[in-house]
């Protein structure tokens, strides 16, 4: 198992939570840990059941969901860094962000700044089971302000089916070893009604969190608007048809399988079953001890808190046979935290982390599939005959093969990044020209690159970048490309306060607007390049290598929100190369 794919254990905590102390723990053994399950602290199942409760009957769905971006929404360190920076700049935002990322936590009354380890487990689960299956009203564009119906596990749930399978189970409580009320026996707790809620199967259900306008009048999420104007919308293809299908990003139908497995028996084994991995371009950089979520922390791990996991250095190999043998022989000396003092506990943690890293690799593959299923590269189309000393002109065609939304889509402004990297090598294999290269931090060599600003590398004048930016108007009247709608020329908070004039018509304050570069559904764009003739110095076989590169966050933006260096490293480790290939062609001697 490759252990470099996820971040070091100390990188997760957002700046705010690092400043907040956890409550003292009562000791239960020589490790000083508290009794009971720390992941259930401050959680009452009478309000909002955890996904781990649902996993008992819906294990396959839980396994798909537990590594999804929905499950990651509340625990993401990058979200917390971003949210804290925005709250520092605009204190009026309040719980605007967390009411989507931790909606149940918001309904439980948790303050937006509450540390992860003090939140209810169901709050840390982000977009968890009840976030969708306990919504009974169609809300539309409400910026995340919809309500999850409270109630314990026995209360009704809302789904795409008519609940006929559940009715058959409830009629045979003894056969299925279930219980339908607290104190009703030793069986597995189960909800007593499944109500069909057709809105759950419609794209409109996704709108309230995937079409968002921030308080200053700028749309941060525009997925719904792109979809509403797309061929997919006109053809009746829904968000669920692509993101929950059996082929990531393609409306090719759904898998079939049981809605639940109760006491070993499949319920409705041939029904249509939606994939709850919700395939998309997002990815986690969280510690694999706390994400993906697990159904249960068993044995010694049951006593370990989030803070404990953040101290577990799995990158160094804690708990592996090789590492523990070196510790035993005295070849390695480590001052282990109290929670990880026992070798057996470290070994149990290493096994869990290996399982989670394997799950993360599955998510990486889903990400690759959904990105490659939604794009294509054609070319190179070389103009004329290539000759020594003559400029080389060529082009590639980039196509958005997705019929549902732009390439890329999602949150605009700082993210996401998608750019073309092209490199030319000569007959000796030496790279003589490149566009789409990155600087020492991993950023593209555009106006935001620290190395470009410092004069360490040249600006990439031919860069093809589909990332959306904001344009802010400075006091002198000129425009400046920014990654947030913040004018740093004089006042650092001119646009992160509600403007005095209405912005609903023009969708932005007068001094800031979005500069969209993404490709609309099924659209293509030609990318033209020109290599100076003096770089074509010798005849022979040259090679052009091309790839689209994708990353969720630029490093300069991560530094703006004060992310850790470890977070930067993991963001770069998840950089994805899409459709990489190389084409060889001959350059003749020309007039030489």
**Stretch 34-55: mean pLDDT, rounded?**
62
- What region does 433 belong to: left with phi over 0, alpha with psi -120 to 50, or beta? beta
For the stretch 571-582, pLDDT in tens is 999 999 999 999
Distance CA 334, CA 327 (A): 8
Least confident segment among 165-174, 520-529, 558-567: 165-174
**540 beta partners:** 587
**Average pLDDT over the chain, rounded to an integer:** 86
Q: Is the pLDDT of residue 541 over 80?
A: yes
H helix or E strand, kind and range, residue 515: strand 512-515
Q: Is the pLDDT of residue 179 over 90?
A: no
* pLDDT attached to residue 397: 98
Cis peptide upstream of residue 11 (ω within 30 degrees of 0): no
* pLDDT attached to residue 408: 92
Looking at per-residue pLDDT, the higher value among 237 and 18 belongs to 237
* pLDDT attached to residue 25: 29
Please state, in angstroms and as integers, the Cα–Cα distance from residue 148 to each residue in 48, 145, 157, 321, 392, following that order.
9, 10, 11, 46, 60
**Stretch 265-282: mean pLDDT, rounded?**
91
Residues 387 and 587: beta-carbon distance below 8 Å = yes
Distance CA 510, CA 508 (A): 6
Least confident segment among 23-32, 37-46, 503-512: 23-32
Dihedral sign (CA 100, 104, 110, 114)? negative
For the stretch 339-368, pLDDT in tens is 999 999 999 999 999 999 999 999 999 999
Q: Is the pLDDT of residue 567 over 80?
A: yes
**Stretch 52-58: mean pLDDT, rounded?**
92
Residues 6+ apart with CB under 8 A from 504: 217
For the stretch 104-113, pLDDT in tens is 999 999 999 9
499 confidence band (pLDDT: 50, 70, 90) = low
Cis peptide upstream of residue 410 (ω within 30 degrees of 0): no
Looking at per-residue pLDDT, the higher value among 429 and 13 belongs to 429
For the stretch 59-91, pLDDT in tens is 999 999 999 999 999 999 999 999 898 888 777
Angle 171-177-181 from CA coordinates, rounded to 5°: 75
* pLDDT attached to residue 420: 98
Distance, first Cα to last Cα, the chain: 54
**What percent of the chain has pLDDT above 70?**
86
Encoded tokens for 260: 């639940």
Least confident segment among 26-30, 48-52, 429-433: 26-30
* pLDDT attached to residue 343: 96
Residue 88: strand, helix, or coil: helix
Q: Is the pLDDT of residue 20 over 60?
A: no
For the stretch 195-215, pLDDT in tens is 999 999 999 999 988 888 776
- Shortest CA distance to 531 belongs to which of 379, 378, 386? 386
* pLDDT attached to residue 512: 77
Please state, in angstroms and as integers, the Cα–Cα distance from residue 10 to each residue in 125, 284, 353, 441, 500, following that order.
20, 15, 15, 20, 43
For the stretch 284-323, pLDDT in tens is 999 999 999 999 888 889 889 999 999 999 999 999 999 9
E strands present in 203-323? 211-213, 219-222, 255-256, 260-262, 265-267, 272-273
Cis peptide upstream of residue 324 (ω within 30 degrees of 0): no
Q: Is the pLDDT of residue 509 over 50?
A: yes
412 confidence band (pLDDT: 50, 70, 90) = low
* pLDDT attached to residue 478: 80
For the stretch 441-469, pLDDT in tens is 999 999 999 999 999 999 999 999 999 88
Give the domain 374-468+516-587 fold.
Immunoglobulin-like (2.60.40)
**Stretch 145-170: mean pLDDT, rounded?**
88
* pLDDT attached to residue 11: 39
* pLDDT attached to residue 215: 63
Domain parsing of the chain, residue ranges: 15-273, 299-364, 374-468+516-587
* pLDDT attached to residue 87: 85
* pLDDT attached to residue 259: 84
């Amino acid at each position: 198992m490759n252990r470099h794919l996820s971040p070091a254990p100390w990188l997760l905590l957002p700046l705010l939570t690092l400043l907040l102390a956890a409550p003292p723990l009562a000791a239960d053994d020589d490790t000083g840990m508290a009794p009971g399950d720390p992941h259930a602290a401050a959680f009452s199942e009478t309000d909002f059941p955890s996904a781990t409760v649902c996993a008992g009957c819906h294990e396959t769905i839980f396994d798909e969901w537990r590594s999804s971006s929905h499950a990651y929404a509340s625990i993401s360190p990058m979200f917390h860094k971003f949210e804290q920076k925005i709250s520092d700049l605009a204190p009026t935002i309040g719980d605007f962000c967390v009411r989507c990322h931790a909606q149940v936590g918001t309904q439980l009354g948790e303050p937006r700044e509450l540390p992860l380890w003090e939140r209810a487990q169901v709050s840390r689960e982000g977009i968890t089971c009840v976030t969708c299956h306990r919504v009974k009203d169609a809300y539309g564009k409400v910026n995340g302000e919809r309500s999850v119906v409270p109630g314990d596990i026995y209360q009704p749930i809302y789904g795409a089916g008519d609940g006929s399978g559940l009715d058959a189970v409830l009629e045979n409580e003894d056969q299925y070893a279930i219980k339908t009320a607290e104190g009703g026996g030793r069986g597995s707790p189960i909800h007593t009604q499944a109500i069909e809620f057709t809105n759950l199967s419609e794209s409109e259900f996704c709108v309230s969190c995937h079409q968002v306008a921030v308080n200053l009048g700028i749309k941060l999420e525009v997925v719904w608007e792109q979809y509403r104007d797309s061929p997919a919308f006109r053809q009746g293809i829904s968000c669920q048809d692509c993101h929950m299908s059996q082929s990531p990003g393609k409306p090719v139908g759904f898998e079939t399988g049981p809605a639940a497995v109760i006491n070993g028996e499949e319920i409705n084994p041939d029904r249509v079953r939606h994939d709850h991995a919700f395939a998309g371009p997002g990815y986690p950089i969280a510690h694999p001890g706390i994400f993906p979520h697990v159904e249960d922390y068993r044995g010694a791990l049951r006593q370990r808190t989030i803070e404990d996991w953040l101290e577990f250095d799995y990158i160094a190999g804690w708990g592996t046979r090789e590492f523990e043998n070196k510790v035993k022989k005295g070849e390695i000396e480590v001052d282990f935290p109290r929670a990880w003092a026992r070798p057996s506990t470290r070994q149990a943690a290493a096994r869990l982390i290996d399982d989670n890293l394997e799950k993360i690799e599955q998510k990486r593959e889903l990400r690759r599939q959904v990105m490659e299923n939604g794009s294509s590269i054609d070319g190179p189309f070389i103009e004329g005959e290539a000759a020594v000393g003559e400029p080389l002109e060529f082009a590639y065609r980039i196509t958005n093969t997705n019929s549902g939304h732009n390439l890329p889509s999602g949150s605009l402004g700082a993210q996401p990044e998608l750019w073309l990297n092209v490199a030319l090598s000569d007959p000796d294999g030496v790279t003589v020209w490149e566009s789409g290269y990155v600087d020492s931090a991993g950023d593209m060599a555009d106006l935001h690159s620290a190395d470009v600003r410092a004069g360490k590398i040249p600006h990439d004048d031919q860069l093809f970048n589909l990332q959306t930016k904001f344009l802010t108007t400075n006091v002198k009247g000129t425009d400046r490309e920014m990654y947030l709608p913040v004018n740093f020329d004089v006042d650092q908070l001119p646009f992160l306060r509600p403007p005095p004039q209405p912005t609903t018509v023009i969708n932005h304050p007068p001094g800031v607007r979005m500069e969209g570069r993404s490709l609309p559904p099924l659209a293509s764009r030609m990318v033209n390049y020109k290599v100076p003739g003096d770089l074509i110095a010798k005849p022979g076989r040259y090679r052009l290598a091309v790839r689209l590169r994708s990353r969720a966050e630029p490093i300069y933006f991560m530094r703006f929100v004060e992310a850790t260096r470890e977070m930067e490293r993991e963001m770069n480790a998840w950089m994805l190369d899409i459709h990489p290939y190389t084409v060889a062609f001959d350059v003749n001697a020309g007039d030489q």
